[in-house]
């Protein structure tokens, strides 16, 4: 099951002492990729989320938007079929939100089903092809 | 095994990249060494103190310095930081066994402490400290310190996994101080008061200290060394096993 799904939680969990590239390589290695394959996959994902220039900087120097994009990338290292995003733009400034929206669209265009929770109606409007409204833990609409 | 190597490698990289966290674990024990020797060296001159076996008081104090350096458990402090910032959840979401996650971080601890023990010995040499048990003794001393460090870091990891709180994990680290002061830290066990002697005899750290002290002050004496190694082996056997158990139930 863990190979089929990717998860990016509401709180961006990153190791501040590692670079973006190292985090992706580590994640890929833990999903069973060889050293060479993990390095290649990390490069692809850095390109996908437009972090190639910052790849070798430690993540403690990243902005909130960059951290969120790296978090998205790390949820994709093992090519999941379904990606769960828990309020991916909470706490981001408007410009970073737009960048994350763009990433989500790009990931979706690659064939990944994105299951996204959000409190922003315009975000749901922008990104979702199917929508459910949850109130007190129940789908009400 | 592969995951263990990957997570362990990250732990080492992390230690290397945070000298600000690593240096105090070296400097504070050396500070205590200087202070303790400064306070008590005149009371115990080499010529008239048989338990020093011809060495100075610094040699007698060295085990406490090494043990203190081995009891910071920084691996556990990094772990609790990861639990708090949720990176730990990301690692848990991978298909890696929980045993690898629990033990991976511990791999860096003995390597760090082995290097640090060598540095402490090298620093002590110009002050007249000699290792009477020779090169085998140095290796055993390093092995014992590395083993103790693994067990102690595993103990702190247990606290980290149970409490998920950096404050609690930091506080738990202080447990070592009463344990250290209940050892024959300043004089051999037979010179302690009766109550302290009983306390020291019941304290497992005593046997580790005495084994290290034996390696420094006398040629290889297995009857003094073995109890220390038994304590360390038990500590290394039990604490990581408890870590694995706690980790398997972690949710």
CA B236 vs. chain centroid, Å, equals 11
Mean predicted confidence (pLDDT) in B186-195: 94
CA–CA dist B210, B205 (Å, integer): 9
- Please determine, for residue A134, whether its predicted confidence score (pLDDT) is greater than 70: yes
Q: Do A26 and B10 touch (CB under 8 A)?
A: yes
Q: What mean pLDDT is predicted for residues B39-51?
A: 93
Of B3, B18, B94, the CB nearest to A2: B94
pLDDT of res. B134: 95
Q: Which of residues 106-145 of B touch A (CB under 8 A)?
A: none
As a whole number, mean pLDDT of residues A24-52 equals 92
Instruction: Tell me the C-alpha distance between A96 and A114, whole Å.
Output: 19
The token duo for B114 is 């082995």
Query: How many Cβ atoms are within 10 Å of A6's Cβ, its own excluded?
Result: 26
Q: Is B2 near chain A, with CB under 8 Å?
A: yes
User: Is residue B17 scored above 90 in pLDDT?
Assistant: no
- Give the one of A11, A30, A58 whose C-beta lies nearest to B91's C-beta: A30
Q: What is the CATH number of the domain that holds A78?
A: 3.40.50.300
pLDDT at B1 over 70: no
Spatial separation of the C-alpha atoms in residues A112 and B96, rounded to whole Å: 23
Instruction: Quote the pTM value.
Output: 0.87
The DSSP output letter for B126 is G
Structural domains counted in chain A:
1
B191/A contact by beta carbon, under 8 A: no
Question: Which range marks the domain in which residue B82 is found?
Answer: 2-249
Supply the ipTM of this predicted assembly: 0.79
For residue B162, count other CB atoms closer than 10 A to its CB.
14
Q: How many domains does chain B have?
A: 1
* Residue B182 clears pLDDT 70, i.e. is over it: yes
The 10s digit of each residue's pLDDT in B94-140 is 889 999 998 998 998 999 999 999 999 999 999 889 999 999 999 99
Q: With an 8 Å Cβ cutoff, is B3 touching chain A?
A: yes
Per-residue confidence (pLDDT) for residue A90, from 0 to 100: 81
Q: For residue B225, give both structure tokens.
A: 């060394």
The answer, for A47 touching chain B at a CB cutoff of 8 Å, is: no
Q: Report the alpha-carbon distance of residue A18 to residue B85 in Å, rounded.
A: 14
- Chain A to chain B, count of Cβ pairs less than 8 Å apart? 53
Q: Is the Cβ of A44 closer than 8 Å to some Cβ of chain B?
A: no
B203-245 pLDDT, tens digit per residue, is: 999 999 999 999 999 999 999 999 999 999 999 999 999 999 9
Contact call for A30 and B3, based on CB within 8 A = yes
Q: In what order do the strands lie in the sheet with A113-117?
A: A5-8, A82-86, A113-117
Number of Cβ atoms within 10 Å of the Cβ of B82: 20
Considering chain B, what percentage of its residues have pLDDT values greater than 90?
79
What distance in Å separates residue A141's CA from the closest CA in chain B?
A: 30
Measured between beta carbons, the chain A residues lying within 8 angstroms of B14 are 15, 17-18
Q: Which residues of B195-219 are buried (b: 16+ CB within 10 A; e: fewer)?
A: ebeebbeebbbbbbbbbbbbbbbbe
> For residues A89 and B203, what is the distance between their CA atoms, to the nearest angstrom?
54
B171 close contact with A: CB closer than 8 A = no
**Residue A17 lies in domain:** 5-139
Q: Is B93 on the interface with A (CB under 8 A)?
A: yes
How far separated are the first and last CA of chain B, in Å rounded? Answer: 23
A91 has a pLDDT exceeding 80: no
């Amino acid at each position: 099951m863990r190979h089929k799904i990717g998860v990016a939680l509401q709180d961006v969990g990153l190791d501040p002492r590692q670079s973006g590239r190292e985090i992706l390589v580590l994640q890929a290695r833990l999903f069973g990729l060889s050293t060479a394959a993990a390095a290649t996959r990390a490069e692809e994902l850095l390109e996908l989320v437009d972090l190639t220039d910052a790849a070798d900087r430690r993540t403690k120097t990243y902005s909130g938007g960059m951290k969120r994009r790296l978090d998205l990338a790390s949820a994709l290292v093992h090519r999941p079929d379904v990606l769960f995003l828990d309020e991916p733009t909470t706490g981001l400034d408007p410009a970073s939100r737009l960048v994350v929206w763009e990433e989500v669209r790009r990931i979706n265009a690659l064939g990944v089903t994105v299951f996204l929770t959000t409190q922003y109606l315009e975000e749901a409007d922008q990104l979702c092809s199917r929508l459910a409204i949850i109130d007190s833990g129940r789908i009400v609409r | 095994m592969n995951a263990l190597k990957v997570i362990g490698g990250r732990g080492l990289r992390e230690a290397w990249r945070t000298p600000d966290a690593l240096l105090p674990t070296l400097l504070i024990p050396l500070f205590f060494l200087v202070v303790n020797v400064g306070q008590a060296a005149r009371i115990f001159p080499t010529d008239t103190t048989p338990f020093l076996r011809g060495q100075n008081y610094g040699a007698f104090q060295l085990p406490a310095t090494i043990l203190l350096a081995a009891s910071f458990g920084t691996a556990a402090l990094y772990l609790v930081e990861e639990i708090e910032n949720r990176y730990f959840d990301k690692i848990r979401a991978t298909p890696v066994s929980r045993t690898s996650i629990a033990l991976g971080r511990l791999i860096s601890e003995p390597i760090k402490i082995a290097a640090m023990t060598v540095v402490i010995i090298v620093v002590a040499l110009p002050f007249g400290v000699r290792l009477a048990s020779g090169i085998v003794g140095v290796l055993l001393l390093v092995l014992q310190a590395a083993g103790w460090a693994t067990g102690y870091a595993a103990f702190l990891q247990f606290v980290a996994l149970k409490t998920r709180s950096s404050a609690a994990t930091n506080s738990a680290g202080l447990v070592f101080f009463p344990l250290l002061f209940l050892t024959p830290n300043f004089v051999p066990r037979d010179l302690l008061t009766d109550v302290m002697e009983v306390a020291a005899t019941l304290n497992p750290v005593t046997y580790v200290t005495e084994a290290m002290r034996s390696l420094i002050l006398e040629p290889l004496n297995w009857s003094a060394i073995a109890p220390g190694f038994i304590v360390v082996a038990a500590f290394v056997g039990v604490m990581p096993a408890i870590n694995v158990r706690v980790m398997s139930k972690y949710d």
